[in-house]
């Protein structure tokens, strides 16, 4: 995508031109803003964002929604997931002059989407709503299959770590991340964020049988931040004082001292929260992913 294309696809709230909204120039019909909840298996996609020479989730969603709208649309998401990363609760918005029921947006879009992508909810929102800018927190989950034998069925849905892991030690270490910090140690070299300051509200690591899962809640994330945190937790859980070891990596603010980037297959954009006035629902429980605990 060109720099100009990127700007057009992420216009400030309420300021999108007709071109940025995907509507023809000179379009005079009333413009409505639609929000939608989308889940997807990211295995076969080069991430959310549209790319010139790869298949993206954004391209598939825009084509499907545009079919229902009867005109091209540009879709803005709450969080741009990477190649191989999944979503249970990605939130999007787009502008349209079409008048459709929520059911029509959902069912119509799903007829044009591949089996690995599905719209779960859609509804009209105020024109000032913005899927990214209006979000107050984003929740990611990371799943690890922790046993000696790999899984054929979960190979694209969870990271496989064969060595024993101490979930309690990982949980304790993760508490060092809570609060507002410089997360430079956990950003990728490709990260283009202008600031490395982020606020983490909660982190939990829980074991359910052979599975460990981490849930992290933050206002925003750096590129590869969650996967780099997981990779570091896999290292520091073996230390005599895991929390102190994690704190040392955090305050060092140097990517070289953090762990390796954990595989994409285990990561899910789980939920994005907004002010209640917008009426964006939480995603429904996922069979095989909630286990015995539901964290909010």
- In tens, the pLDDT along 143-186 reads 999 999 999 999 999 999 999 999 999 999 999 999 999 999 99
Question: What confidence score (pLDDT) does residue 23 get?
Answer: 57
Question: What confidence score (pLDDT) does residue 7 get?
Answer: 39
Q: Could you confirm whether 95 is annotated as catalytic?
A: no
Q: Which residues of the chain have pLDDT under 50?
A: 1-8, 13-20, 26, 291-296
- In tens, the pLDDT along 227-251 reads 999 999 999 999 999 999 999 999 9
Find the catalytic residue in 44, 59, 82, 273. 82
Question: What confidence score (pLDDT) does residue 191 get?
Answer: 87
Task: Give DSSP secondary structure letters for 16-85.
Answer: --TTTTTPPTT--SPPEEEEEEEEE-GGGSS-SS-BTTB--HHHHHHHHHHHHHTS----EESS---TT-
Question: What confidence score (pLDDT) does residue 281 get?
Answer: 95
- What is the dotted CATH code of the domain comprising 137-269? 3.30.70.660
Q: State the span(s) of the chain assigned CATH 3.30.70.660.
A: 137-269
Q: State the span(s) of the chain assigned CATH 3.30.70.580.
A: 3-134
Claim: this prediction has a pTM higher than 0.85: yes
The Cα angle at residue 89 between residues 206 and 265, in degrees rounded to 5:
60
Fold category of 3-134 in CATH: Alpha-Beta Plaits (3.30.70)
């Amino acid at each position: 995508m060109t720099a100009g294309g990127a700007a057009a696809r992420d216009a400030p709230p309420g300021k999108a031109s007709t071109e940025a909204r995907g509507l023809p120039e000179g379009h005079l019909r009333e413009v409505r803003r639609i929000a939608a909840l989308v889940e997807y298996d990211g295995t076969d996609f080069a991430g959310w964002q549209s790319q010139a020479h790869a298949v993206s989730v954004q391209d598939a969603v825009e084509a499907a929604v545009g079919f229902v709208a009867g005109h091209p649309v540009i879709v803005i998401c709450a969080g741009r997931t990477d190649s191989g990363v999944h979503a249970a609760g990605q939130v999007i918005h787009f502008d349209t002059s079409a008048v459709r029921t929520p059911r029509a947006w959902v069912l119509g879009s799903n007829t044009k989407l591949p089996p690995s992508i599905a719209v779960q909810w859609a509804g009209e929102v105020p024109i000032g709503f913005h899927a990214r800018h209006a979000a107050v927190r984003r929740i990611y989950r990371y799943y690890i299959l922790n046993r000696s034998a790999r899984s054929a069925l979960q190979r694209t849905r969870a990271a496989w770590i064969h060595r024993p892991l101490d979930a309690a030690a990982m949980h304790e270490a993760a508490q060092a991340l809570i609060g507002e910090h410089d997360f430079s140690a956990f950003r990728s070299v490709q990260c283009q964020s202008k600031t490395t300051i982020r606020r983490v509200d909660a982190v939990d690591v829980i074991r359910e049988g052979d599975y460990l899962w981490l849930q992290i809640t933050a206002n925003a994330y750096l590129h590869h931040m969650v996967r780099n945190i997981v990779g570091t937790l896999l290292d520091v859980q073996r230390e005599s004082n895991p929390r102190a070891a994690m704190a040392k990596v955090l305050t060092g603010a140097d990517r070289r001292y953090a762990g390796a980037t954990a595989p994409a297959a285990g990561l899910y954009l789980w939920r994005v929260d907004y002010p209640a006035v917008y009426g964006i629902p939480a995603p429904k429980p996922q069979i095989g992913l909630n286990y015995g605990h539901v964290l909010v």
